[in-house]
Amino acid sequence: MMEAPFFRFLQPCSLGNKKAMIRTKKILSFLLLILFFGACAPIMADTHSRLDGDHVANITRMFLRHHFSRQTFDDAHSAEMLRRYLKRFDPGHYYFLKSDIDEFNKFSHLLDNRIRRGNIDIAFTVFDRFLMRFRRRVEKVEPVLRKSFDMNRDETFLLARDKAPYPVSREAADRQFRKRLKREFLELTLGGDDNRKAGEALRRRYRSLKFRWENFFRLDVVTAFLNAFTNSYDPHSSYMSPDDYENFNISMRLSLEGIGATLRWEDGITIITKIIPGGAASREGTLKPEDKIVAVAQGTNGPWADVTNRRLIDVVKLIRGHRGSTVRLSFLRREKGLTERRLKVSIVRDKIILKEGEAKGRVEERRLTGVKRPFRIGVITLPSFYVDFSSRALDPGEQKRSSRDVEIILRRFVEQKVDGVILDLRNNGGGGLDEAVSMAGLVLHRGPVVMVKDLWNPIQMLNNPHSRPVYRGPLVVLINRYSASASEIVAGALQDYGRAIVVGDRATFGKGTVQKIFPLPNEMGALKTTVAKFYRPGSSSTQHRGVEADIVLPSLNNHLEIGESSLDNALPWDTVRRSNFRPWASLEAVLPILRESSALRVKNNAYFNQVKKDVANYLRRKNRKAVTLRRIIDEDREAKREAKLREARKASSSGGETGEDIPLEETLRITMDFIRLMQSESARSIATDGN
């Protein structure tokens, strides 16, 4: 299952409808936040839907009317659109020739005018040329692999080819592609494969790529073309194909109707990866992970449809269906040895709740030296700010939503008399804007949680909807570089109010923009458009900069090119006037004490010391533009030697940190220090409940 964005669903304003624009102020709290951290993933589209040039022209006009930047579709955006479209197919410059690029660049300042007239021929010209070049490269895989690579020949490999010149001839492209195969072969053998397994893995890899591109249909091409257009304005706007739109809705409501299994595609075969506990397939009991689905039939008597060498999305659509309907699967299961037995199963589809995406709470007990009673700390893990919009429309009081689930957990923590709470927002990419506002309100008094600025209205305050906080005790928010959007709203508001200490990576992702979904007619998917920016109560946007941690833990993420600032065409950081809010507390006096105690523990922690070594190794290699074959082999040998030493140290140590979540463990210790400080007489005069 592909990773899906989380954001708020809205009925669109119709084109040219001024009244709808006026209503924007009333419905601003229904704007949405998203999880995507960059350009859209490869799109598997519904081949029965058809976007033509006129549709593309209308979609671009709709986008330009609503996009926050208010920039026109000019020659500069035309050139950027072409660049992104070419990068979509050949990011490493292995397939197109320089002559191809020179030919395409003649259109770099013409796309804006052509698209306005409904002319999208260049999209198909580029893709057809790519497919021709790609097939020629793939034809070389088998002949190259039949010859053994000379590992004694020390060659140099470019580490980043996105800015490398395109090959000037087919022969030059063949030579560069051979070096690519050699490096991929080397990586597989260094990873543990013998030569035979490495060769077969590469053959499967390129067979899969060939299948993928040869099954890239007309709608897929137009989708990629539209996304090159939207991403020339910002990295979070996109066209969503019908299948992507459906997957988005599933991810938002954390439920779907089907058999309850996750699937993957390998070399033409759909394989079961996991049976979801409690789902229809789990209750029926026949299917197991690694079973290979070869045919699907509908109902009790429907004909069998062969699904070998079919796209995964097409197989998924055959297996999914309405609750209570029947689907039959024919599958292969490997028996003892190498034999495979063909089996059949009939399953009644049901509603599947995706429990892994729900908020979870648990109480951790930890002791400190010299303290008789163990500290009891509630930990809430929140993967996303989800909400079931379809249920909300039918029964507003009963819809599935993250803020309600977290409220239940917090009330249970209060009953259990926990000493403190950690809200773990690591890897939480965002979700519904109103969910973020509601969740922050569970631990705050009345006041603004976030400010939103769009094209048509003055800045709006979105206030805490709760009359009083559910939990008033010590609070710590754990973040990393992948905490984005709604996560940053919550972390930023709690930090501005002095309500919580933020711990983790240096800063969050830095996505401070708001997207709105415009469903398109005739089941042609949806348009996701950046329509606003949000700001913390203290005036700052989280765009680019994110929410900075009060206590920073060592992490490789702090040095990797992750976050909004690393994305092309991201909107700039700015500020607005500070909102009028009453702080919960002042934590300035306790933070230096907490930082000092944490730094001492981190200094003596084997895990964090290894992280520091990993960072040093990364920084040493970061600016290298090329690497030799001998360097790759030597560095792999050194990495394996260090790994063996680490395992030996673990085996000889009496500590119990192996397998633990060390950043969380350190956050638990920070929380205990925080609790002790807040309980002291001196702290009570420093930081007090704002109520």
Geometric angle at alpha carbon 167, from 166 and 168, rounded to 5°: 115
Whether CATH 1.20.1600.10 fits 255-353: no
Q: What does pTM read for this prediction?
A: 0.83
Q: What is the pLDDT of residue 4?
A: 30
Taking only the tens place, the pLDDT of each residue in 57-110 is: 999 999 999 999 999 999 999 999 999 999 999 999 999 999 999 999 999 999
What is the homologous superfamily of the domain 357-515+532-595+657-686 according to CATH?
A: 2-enoyl-CoA Hydratase; Chain A, domain 1 (3.90.226.10)
Place of tokens 């976007």: 51
Taking only the tens place, the pLDDT of each residue in 423-453 is: 999 999 998 899 999 999 999 999 999 999 9
Question: CA 254, CA 577: separation in Å to the nearest integer?
Answer: 37
CB 225 within 8 A of CB 125: no
CB 533 within 8 A of CB 545: no
In sequence order, what E strands does 372-434 have?
A: 375-381, 420-424
Q: What is the pLDDT of residue 82?
A: 98
Instruction: Sort 367 into a burial class: Cβ within 10 Å, 0-12 / 13-18 / 19+.
Output: exposed
Alpha helices by DSSP H, 191-323:
195-214, 218-231, 242-253, 280-284, 312-319
Q: What is the pLDDT of residue 9?
A: 29
Cα dist from 80 to 412, 547, 588, whole Å: 52, 30, 46
Q: What is the pLDDT of residue 647?
A: 66
Give 603's contacts (C-beta < 8 A, 6+ positions apart).
609
Cα dist from 329 to 279, 311, 342, 506, 600, whole Å: 16, 16, 10, 49, 58
Q: What is the pLDDT of residue 78?
A: 97
Positions in the chain short of pLDDT 50: 1-49, 652-658, 688-691
